[in-house]
Amino acid sequence: MNFELTEQQKLVRRSVREFAQSVLAPVAPNFDREAKYSWDIVKELSKINLFGIQLPEKYGGADLDSLSYAITIEEISRICASTGLMLSVHNSVGAYPIYNWGTEEQKEKYLPDIATGKKISGFSWTEPNAGSDAQGIECIMVQEGNEFVLNGSKIFVTNGSIGSVILIGTRYKTNDGQKGIATIILEKDMEGYEIGQPEDKM
């Protein structure tokens, strides 16, 4: 088995490393100090196509392989762990589930904006009384006629303060008696969606 990087993977590593050192390094300390994220950096990340690393080109993605993705997150995180985390969550548990398990309608609706960084995606599973235990989830989505009504609270939502599209875990019940646990897509501007005050870091 050959573990040597391909020429393309070496190019990815070199390009992302140069970007991280020249663009990200000068401002990275401010993110943790001020507990804020820079939309100017989001624009710069978008220019080099880091928001749709493994998404197909038809959605605006870079269509890179898994190792190139890992290299990208590693190089960004060497300089700024918070930016590395933001990108990994956006790509891995935000974009990836929609691309792999979403309907064609969902893919067409969400992936072009996610791939270009116009919309940041996030992920939410943890709850105040359940932690990350799926069986303990209290958030519930109930079907009422042709609509679904979601009630519940989440904490420690990764990309929650900057995300426009958040995937969350919830229990559900349908009109025909089906029930279980599912991951659903929420949009920041949906009725009833509220963002609480950020918690202080340790």
Indicate the number of domains in the chain: 2
- Structure confidence at residue 202 (pLDDT): 60
- Structure confidence at residue 33 (pLDDT): 85
Same domain, residue pair 39 and 92: yes
Same domain, residue pair 89 and 158: no
Q: Provide DSSP, 163-199.
A: -SEEEEEEEEE-TTS-EEEEEEEEETTSTT----PPP
Tell me the pLDDT tens digit for each residue of 83-124. Answer: 999 999 999 999 999 999 999 999 999 999 999 999 999 999
Same domain, residue pair 131 and 50: no
pLDDT along the chain (202 residues), means of 10: 90 98 95 86 95 96 96 98 96 96 97 97 93 90 92 93 94 91 94 84 62
- Structure confidence at residue 134 (pLDDT): 85
Instruction: Using CB atoms within 10 Å of the CB of residue 167, give its burial: 0 to 12 exposed, 13 to 18 middle, 19+ buried.
Output: buried
Q: For residue 85, what is the domain's CATH number?
A: 1.10.540.10
Q: For residue 136, what is the domain's CATH number?
A: 2.40.110.10
